[in-house]
Amino acid sequence: MSLDQPIEKRGRRSSRIAPDHEDSFFTPSPMHSDKNMKVQESDKRIDSQHNKDESDIYIPPWTEPYIIGVAGNSGSGKTSISQKVIQELNQPWTVLLSFDNFYKPLTPEESVKAFKNEFDFDTPTSLDLDLLVDTVKNLKKGNKTEIPVYSFAKHARTDKKTTIYGANVIIIEGIYALYDQRLLDLMDIKVYVDTDLDICLSRRLTRDILFRGRDLSGAMKQWETFVKPNAVRHVNPTMNNADLIIPRGLDNLTAINLMIKHIQKQLSIKSTLHLKRLKQLGIRKEFKIEDFAKNVTVLPNNNHTKGIHSILFNENTERSDFIFYFDRISILIIENAIDQLTNYEPITIKTGTNYEFKGIKPKEEVIAVNIIRSGDCFMNSIKKTFPEITIGKLLIQSDSLTGEPQLHTESLPKRIDLIPNKKFFLFDAQIISGAAAIMAIQVLIDHKTNPCDIVLCSYLCTEIGLRRILNVFPKVNIVIGKLSSIDEESNSTNNNEKKWYNEEGFKDTDWHFRTRFIDSLYFGTE
């Protein structure tokens, strides 16, 4: 069977775009050509922030989130417009930070006033702006951040907290969103919603009575005593800080649509810049796997592994056989990953016949992390090897048009940063461009994991994908079942000798290495 020819039986469009050559990261789309994107200004801005060679740095998109500030009087329609933006952007990694969750805790005396509607919640001093600024800065650094939850019925923060990580778009919404200069300096676009105060009053009464447990007289007392005076004194002047003013709030569809189109354009430029950086990763004129012998392991090319490869690559293999033999080679990969555990301590155990056996046990806790859904193919083998192992999940998918990897879901064990001795086994059945693996490794590093404590396990891996990973994270350990080469010239050493790990001469552009097929066959979803 020729691997250069596409196999219709397994024909499935890859959700992650594979490289056709070392200089190409993804298959370009006419709608998303680099030539049509103006990213020069962004390039200059980023280059000035980093002294290290750009080819050695991976900058995840959540460390450069697009930050939108939405301000306006109480009841002006800020929240509705923010939700409209979230709906139109249609990105699950968009975060709404509401000022409502950042009120300062009240003293007992202030709490009594609050229940009598005599406490001023509409002055800037009632808000914990320092906490909000620190929260936005932490999100901008890519750190996992906890957001307080405020109860208007109790006039106090609750014990619950909302955890946020990996935000690409942050919307800061509140009456004083454009008040603090520290927040203004962090924003990419500043929006002010300008609505008549009489309309604001009617909306506020509806909200407070129906959703916040207030009575009519108390709500009117607050409006006349605190809300309206503060709106004139503090909120309205922040209109001068806005880049865009939207009169009539949610009724002004023209202004809202123009704003959304502008945001979408900026996100498109940001996406293109992310892809451009990914493309530059792993560009080495010479690459020898022997240089990474300490942390890269490729399964030996013996009769055992050759036989398994032959079965898994055969288009006529039954699904039950495919699952069985993939589980077999998965166990071999996991066994090689276990060899990366070097921290052991002696232990003495008693057998059933009271015989004492002196052995060893690992000091490190092993945590498995699967990149959904390709990494889930390893689950059977993982549970057979570690029956009680802790398992985390990462959902990383590529944009269907641009090929940009995007973090959709992160579900890691809680407080993993507090585990003293740990080893992460990161699983992905196929590494094509290397982008998803790089993003997954970055997520673990953001959770206070040492790169030396990460073991990336994969069955099929392209050379360009391996180059990119090692160029960014040279200390990460990698175990591979089968590794291809970039081109025909790289399949030989001194133009005569075949590479020991690729005697067959597989190329990155061969169907089995550029197409994500293992999870489809394993789970029967092709």
pLDDT at 163: 85
- In whole angstroms, how far apart are CA 266 and each of 79, 242, 269, 272, 492? 22, 18, 5, 10, 45
pLDDT at 134: 95
Dihedral sign for Cα 54, 55, 56, 58, please.
positive
Of 168, 84, 83, 186, residue with least CA distance to 132: 186
In terms of Cβ atoms closer than 10 Å to its own Cβ (0-12, 13-18, 19+), residue 223 is buried
Q: How many residues does the chain have?
A: 526
Query: Which residues, in sequence order, are CB contacts of 367 under 8 Å at separation 6+?
Result: 389, 390, 391, 392, 413, 416, 419, 422, 423, 424, 425
Q: How far apart are CA 512 and CA 312, in angstroms?
A: 10
Which ranges of 190-318 does DSSP label H, i.e. alpha helix? 197-211, 216-222, 228-230, 253-280, 303-313
pLDDT at 407: 86
For residue 328, whether the previous peptide bond is cis, meaning omega lies within 30 degrees of 0, is: no
Strands 492-493 and 356-362: unpaired
Residue whose structure tokens are 């451009």: 276
DSSP string, 351-412: -TTS-EEEEEEESSEEEEEEEETGGGGGHHHHHHH-TT-EEEEEEEEE-TTT--EEEEEEE-
SS (H, E, C) 25-38: CCCCCHHHCHHHCC
What domains are there in the chain, each with its CATH number?
66-277 (3.40.50.300), 285-487+498-523 (3.40.50.2020)
Per-residue burial over 295-333, b if 16 or more Cβ lie within 10 Å, else e, is bbbbbebeeebeebbebbbeeebeeeebbebbbbbbbbb
CA atoms within 13 A on the CB side of 189: 21
pLDDT at 36: 41
Tokens for 351?
């057998």
pLDDT at 55: 45
List the chain pLDDT tens, one digit each, 526 residues: 344 444 434 443 333 333 333 334 433 333 343 434 444 444 444 344 444 444 467 888 888 899 999 999 988 889 899 999 998 888 768 899 999 899 998 888 888 888 887 888 889 999 999 999 999 999 988 888 889 998 877 888 888 888 888 888 999 999 999 999 999 999 999 999 998 888 888 888 888 888 777 788 888 888 888 889 888 999 999 999 999 999 988 889 999 999 999 999 988 888 888 888 887 776 655 677 788 888 999 999 899 999 999 999 998 999 999 999 999 999 999 999 999 888 888 999 988 888 999 988 888 889 999 999 899 999 999 999 999 899 999 998 877 666 778 888 889 988 787 788 889 999 999 999 898 999 999 999 988 899 999 999 999 999 989 999 998 899 999 999 999 988 645 444 444 456 778 888 899 889 889 888 999 999 987 6
Q: How far apart are CA 524 and CA 526, in angstroms?
A: 6
State the DSSP H helix or E strand holding residue 48, giving kind and residue range, or none if neither: helix 40-49
- In whole angstroms, how far apart are CA 370 and each of 17, 391, 413, 468? 20, 8, 12, 20
pLDDT at 33: 39
pLDDT at 193: 94
pLDDT at 309: 95
pLDDT at 337: 95
